[in-house]
Structure 1
Amino acid sequence: MTVTPDPSKCPICGEPNQCSLSNPAAATQTCWCFTAEIAPEARERIPDDALNKACICPRCARGEPPAKL
């Protein structure tokens, strides 16, 4: 069974990804990730079924570990 990723959640850590394209109120704005440098190790951690379907969050994009609760 294939689960479609939530476009508003980071597919790496599950936290909100701050994607403007997944937010109807901000969908006309450019997403932060369009101009961000994404760490190579972050790209490698994106699950195959989430590629091009959900943004990662800024923390994961920088290659940082998920926030501890």
Structure 2
Amino acid sequence: MTHTLDSSKCPVCGEPNQCSLSNPATATQPCWCFSAEIAPEASEQIPDDALNKACICQRCARGELPTKS
């Protein structure tokens, strides 16, 4: 089974990531993540296939990662 990456969703939690680059209406504007500090524990959770391809959401970037069930 192949997984298609949705650049508008956080690859950590699956929620919308508010990425300006993935939205055609704002694609020419810098994304919020360009100037954000990403928590180390959040960076560790990004799947390899999503690195530099999809933003994580602001909640995950702050280190408020979803609980695994």
TM-score normalised to structure 2 length = 0.89
Alignment partner, residue 53 of structure 2: 53
> What does residue 31 of structure 1 align with?
31
Q: Percent identity?
A: 83
Aligned to 2:3: 3
Q: After TM superposition, give the deviation of residue 65 of structure 1 in Å.
A: 3.0
Which position in structure 1 is the counterpart of 2:15? 15
Paired residue for 2:44? 44
1:15-65 deviation digits (Å, cap 9, x = unpaired): 000000000000011100000000000000001111111100000000003
- Compare the two structures and name the one with the higher helix fraction: 1
TM-align CA RMSD? 1.0
| TM-score using structure 1 length | 0.89
5+ long unaligned stretches in structure 1: none
Which AA in structure 2 matches 1:46? I
Runs of 4+ in 1 over 6 A off after TM superposition: none
> How many residues matched?
66
CA distance in 2, matches of 1:48, 1:65: 17
